[in-house]
Structure 1
Amino acid sequence: MQLHRLDVDGAFLADPVIYPDDRGHFLELFSQPAFQRDVGHELNVAQVNCSLSRRGTIRGLHAVALPSQARYVTCPQGGIIDIVVDIRLGSPTYGEYVAAELTETNRRALYLAEGLAHGFAPLTDEATVVYLCSSTWAPGREVQINALDPELNLPWPVTPEPLMSEKDRAAPTLREAAERGLLPDYRDCQELYARLDGLAVGGDRR
């Protein structure tokens, strides 16, 4: 397994080695040594979530206020587009996004560091998403950005009226969230990343 840096700092795409045979195939969904080698520190897994979504759904954009929550996302059934948005105030890539297709065929995974937001939409009739989280659910620290924010103009593969939760549909735009003081600060995130890297033996995120 190898994790590749994406254009938003703190976002990585994991490509596993798939071993096929007559029975099917085998792969590592997650490897702590590979993760630490490529990201710079271990991923502490405090919670594992699983969701099933049908075509036309958008889940997100979701993040967690600092000390925040890192996530490692994969799609074992069906396929999704997962979009990571940099919502860290002061970041060189603030307001920019990266998108990746995670499917039951490519078996890729997407890692997003603390302070980044993400959302996903199925590319198939149904899709199961599993994500490893570095902290447990903290409802009081949730940060939500409207996935249909016209300024972000994200490439969702859905109709003009996607299936969304009431909370997601009512979420503020990125500009509104910034004005309300809801967004994490890039410098604070960098300090957090440095502390995590300092706990690791070797490796450098930057």
Structure 2
Amino acid sequence: MQIHQLEVDGSFLVTPQIFSDDRGLFLEIFNQPAFHKAIGHPLSVAQVNCSVSRAGTIRGLHAAALPGQARYVTCAQGAIVDILVDIRVGSPTYGKHVAVQLTAENRHALYLAEGLAHGFAPLTAHATVVYLCSSTWSPQGEIQINPLDPELALPWPRQDELLLSDKDRAAPSLRETAELGLLPSYADCRARYAELDDYAFTG
């Protein structure tokens, strides 16, 4: 398993080793020692989510207020584009995005540290996404940003009809969310990462 940091601090692409034979294939979706070595602390899993979506769907952009929710995302069936956005005020890559294709063929996974928002959309007729979460869902701490924010100009797949939840469609832009004071600061997020690293070292 190889884990590489992406252009946005706190985001990593996980490339597993796939073993194939005439029976099918085998791979490790998640490996705690490898994750700990690459990230600096283990991933504490509090919730595992599964989402099935059809073509045209956009889910996101979602994040959680600090202490936040780290996510480890993989595509079990079909293919998706997962787009992460740096929403940490004061970050050198604030407002920047990274788009990653996760498919049932490449078996890649995407890790997003606390303070990063993301959303995804199928590239196939249907797609099943499974993701590990470091905390359970809290509606009070949920941060929603409109995935169609024209200032972000995210590279979603072109569809005749886009399917969004009412909440996602009505979500504010990144600029509006910042003006409401709902976004985490880069300094606070970095402090959170250091806290997790220190706990892993001493605990």
Normalised by the length of structure 2, the TM-score is 0.98
**Against the structure 1 CA distance between its residues 41 and 156, is the aligned structure 2 distance closer, same or farther, given a 3 Å change threshold?**
same
Query: Residue 190 of structure 1 corresponds to which residue in structure 2?
Result: 190
In the alignment, the residues of structure 1 paired with residue 10 and residue 190 of structure 2 have an alpha-carbon distance, to the nearest angstrom, of 10
Secondary structure of 2:90's partner? coil
Tell me the percent identity: 70
Which residue is 1:126 aligned to?
126
CA deviation profile, 1:118-145 (whole Å, cap 9, x unmatched)? 0000000000000000000101110000
Cα drift, residue 55 of structure 1: 0.3
Partner residue of 1:162?
162
Question: Segments of 4+ in structure 1 off by > 6 A?
Answer: none
- Identify the residue that residue 31 of structure 1 maps to in structure 2: 31
Report the count of equivalent residues. 202
What SS is found at the alignment partner of 2:74?
Answer: strand
- Residue aligning to 1:85: 85
Question: How far apart, CA to CA, are the structure 2 residues paired with 1:159 and 1:55?
Answer: 8
CA-to-aligned-CA distance 1:44-95 (integer Å, 9 cap, x gap): 0000000100000000000000011000000010000000000000000000
- Supply the RMSD in Å over aligned alpha carbons: 1.0
Q: Is the 8 A contact 1:51 1:128 kept in 2?
A: yes
Name the structure 2 match of 1:110. 110
Give how far 1:201 is off.
3.8
SS in structure 2 of the partner of residue 127 of structure 1: strand
In 2: Cα distance, 1:201 partner to 1:31 partner: 18
TM score, norm. by length of structure 1: 0.96
Note the residue ranges of structure 1 that are not aligned, 5 or more in a row: none
Q: Deviations over 1:181-202 (max 9, x none)?
A: 1101111000000011112249
Once the two structures are TM-superposed, the CA of residue 160 in structure 1 deviates from its matched residue by 6.0
Q: What one-letter code is carried by the residue in structure 1 that aligns with 2:134?
A: S
- Write the letter of the residue equivalent to 2:98: V
What is the one-letter code of the residue matched to 1:121?
A
Shift of 1:161: 4.0
1:80–1:148 distance in 2 versus 1, CA, 3 Å:
same
| Aligned AA (1:2) | Q
- d(CA) in 2 for partners of 1:132 and 1:98? 20
